[in-house]
Structure 1
Amino acid sequence: MRIGFTGLGTMGGPAALNLIKGGHDLTVCDLDRNRAEEHLALGAKWAETPAAAAQAADIVFTMVFGPKQIEQVAGGDDGLRSAMSAGQVWVDMTTNKPAFVRELAATFAENGVQLIDAPVTGAVDGARTGNMPQFAGGDEATVARIRPVMELMGPLHYMGPSGSGSVTKLASNQLWAIHATAMGEALVMAVKSGVDLSRAWDALKIGASESWCMHHDAPSVFAGHYDPSFTLDLCQKDLGLIVEACDDAGTAAPATRLVCTQFEAAREKYGGDKGELHVVKLEEDNAGVSLRLDGDWVPHWEK
């Protein structure tokens, strides 16, 4: 297929490479052309604007920072709205506001364009290896038709009508933020109470305490870099969307709101450009405990 892809950041860049390796004709666009060097070397074409990337494409993928950036990508003379027409499919993989997604879907449908919201998870190693889960909302028949393309990037889960993918991604990030905060509290408590860190980690990866976060993210804490591939600024952007979704749904979500304050405290102390797991470092520093652990902790974005 002919594919346009706007947004070659931490997740979008490697995801787009998997589409090229799958044999598709890609035109890529990003604010920084340097991010496209590997894509262009593999045969992709360059577009200066999202509109140019979308012209003549069967499917248009976007993956940018958040709702404000999607609004810019969609609108204006250089945006998707000016370039897309009946029969084309737009797949937005940005973590977005569900209500905004539905609004965009209705607007683009007026021109015969199907919008599928399909935000992703799985961290950079998932994007690199083609194991990046996607949560899709929108027309089910359209999702079924483009499934072979999307599955080149990772498992695809159809979640329901427009906006359902975005809601699911927010719920996924909601749990991750709670798990990451709880992981820090549990490991710090165990170590300060005299339990060997390596043994504590082995024990907390099994049974009732097991989580993806404990398996995948704890090594970033042990190594001391706290995973710079996803920043505290991005965490707070997502948590803002999550709290808004809770408000829209009328849920109390006390744990989520408390965790939001912890991430904000970490951002204020260490800086928004620092790695997401500084929420664990906050607990370490408050307790006077270090969770450094000797080991060959290969960063997940290099796997």
Structure 2
Amino acid sequence: MATPYPKPVIPSQTRLGWIGTGIMGSLMASRLLAAGYSLTVYNRTIEKALALQSQGAHVVSSPIEVARRSDVVFTIVGNSRDVREVTLGPNGVLPGLNPGGVVVDMTASHPALAREMFAAARAKGCWSVDAPVSGTDVGAREGKLAIFAGGDGAVVAWLKPLFDIMGEVTYMGEAGCGQSCKLANQIAASAVLVGLSEGLVFAERAGLYLNKFLDAVREGTAGSRLMDLFGERMIRKDYRPTAFAEYVVKDLGMALDSLEETDEQRTVAVPGAELTKQLYSAMVANGDAKIGIHGVKTVIERINGK
């Protein structure tokens, strides 16, 4: 079926909806408001949407109300169950979206759900794009997120002016490919944080000054964007979240679960991801589910008797 979006042009009067105003969502939505778009917002906890209301957003009481007032609806919520509820549920986005409307899910969710949403959207003449993001609150505030998009390529191109406000979008392929890219990103990123944690604990036990250690290795092969973002915070034991540790457990769990759904020729062993999930699960068991993802250093310290 031909796409209704032959040109990558988003008119300024396009009505936007936003569902989910957590740490990342509120900052991303704020950038769309600052760019001059009208925004209708829903959040399960209404108080978390009031800051956007003060910036000019219209706050409503349900996802279906957002859809009825919007041409494009963005969602960024907690997990796949939440995504299903706010998009496919009886009071969700798709029941209220007019034909030709688009729902863009930016939650880290399951690839199979993204494919289900795409099929459901097409069945009523709408479109669905899975577009999870990578980056911290700083990236969200500055519009420098990495965005991984799956779905119809022409629709993603049409949405690009909106994505450009939030970061840099890469089209990954058909529905579900954006989510698969996000899960692969989480496998790589969480393993880097575990390695950085072990390096810091080892360096401290060896009697090194930790800031000097970071400065020494930052430009070498051990240096990384994650070291720049979190290294000094980890030394200060500043574990305030940009994303919660429990989300890593969720994302790695989805990655391992999605591997079980693939056919035999595509199955891949990821022993590092299995181990990393165990370490982050230990954080949750220790009562640290709501601290930052870089707090995995606390698990390495506990293992070492600190």
Q: Tell me if TM exceeds 0.5.
A: yes
Which one is further off, 82-91 or 227-236?
227-236
Match for residue 304 of structure 2 among 287, 290, 301: 287
Q: What are the Cα deviations for residues 98-148 of structure 1, in whole angstroms up to 9, with x where unaligned?
A: 011101101110111110100011111111111122111111111111110
TM-fit CA distance, 1:270: 3.6
TM-fit CA distance, 1:247: 3.1
TM-fit CA distance, 1:288: 4.8
Equivalents in 1 of 2:214, 2:259: separation in Å? Answer: 32
Match of 1:107 in 2: 120
The 8 Å contact of residues 87 and 114 in structure 1, kept in 2 or not, is answered as yes
Match of 1:301 in 2: none
Amino acid at match of 1:254: P
Match for residue 186 of structure 2 among 170, 173, 193: 173
Equivalents in 2 of 1:169, 1:128: separation in Å? Answer: 20
Equivalents in 1 of 2:51, 2:163: separation in Å? Answer: 20
TM-fit CA distance, 1:243: 1.5
Match of 1:255 in 2: 272
The 8 Å contact of residues 204 and 214 in structure 1, kept in 2 or not, is answered as no
Match for residue 210 of structure 1 among 199, 223, 227: 223
Match of 1:32 in 2: 45
The 8 Å contact of residues 88 and 117 in structure 2, kept in 1 or not, is answered as no
TM-fit CA distance, 1:188: 1.2
TM-fit CA distance, 1:12: 0.6
Equivalents in 1 of 2:89, 2:197: separation in Å? Answer: 44
Q: Give the secondary-structure state (helix, strand or coil) at the position aligned to 1:77.
A: coil
Q: Give the secondary-structure state (helix, strand or coil) at the position aligned to 1:170.
A: helix
TM-fit CA distance, 1:15: 0.4
Spell out the pairing of 1:1-303 with structure 2 (5 A cutoff).
Answer: 1-249=14-262, 250-288=267-305
Structure 1 unaligned segments of length 5 or more: list them. Answer: 290-303
Q: What is the percent sequence identity of the aligned residues?
A: 31
The 8 Å contact of residues 92 and 119 in structure 1, kept in 2 or not, is answered as yes
Q: Give the secondary-structure state (helix, strand or coil) at the position aligned to 1:155.
A: strand
Structure 2 unaligned segments of length 5 or more: list them. Answer: 1-13
The 8 Å contact of residues 71 and 98 in structure 2, kept in 1 or not, is answered as no
Aligned length: 289
TM-fit CA distance, 1:195: 2.3
The 8 Å contact of residues 16 and 38 in structure 2, kept in 1 or not, is answered as yes
Match of 1:295 in 2: none
* Root-mean-square deviation (Å): 1.5
The 8 Å contact of residues 246 and 253 in structure 1, kept in 2 or not, is answered as no
Which one is further off, 56-65 or 71-80?
71-80
The 8 Å contact of residues 270 and 278 in structure 1, kept in 2 or not, is answered as no
Amino acid at match of 1:15: M
Q: What are the Cα deviations for residues 202-254 of structure 1, in whole angstroms up to 9, with x where unaligned?
A: 12212211211111111221221223232222221112112213333411101
Equivalents in 2 of 1:266, 1:91: separation in Å? Answer: 31
Equivalents in 2 of 1:246, 1:130: separation in Å? Answer: 32
The 8 Å contact of residues 99 and 124 in structure 2, kept in 1 or not, is answered as yes
Equivalents in 1 of 2:195, 2:180: separation in Å? Answer: 23
Equivalents in 1 of 2:129, 2:200: separation in Å? Answer: 40
The 8 Å contact of residues 7 and 62 in structure 1, kept in 2 or not, is answered as yes
The 8 Å contact of residues 227 and 277 in structure 1, kept in 2 or not, is answered as no
Equivalents in 1 of 2:66, 2:195: separation in Å? Answer: 42
Which one is further off, 195-204 or 252-261?
195-204
Q: Give the secondary-structure state (helix, strand or coil) at the position aligned to 1:60.
A: strand
The 8 Å contact of residues 210 and 235 in structure 2, kept in 1 or not, is answered as no
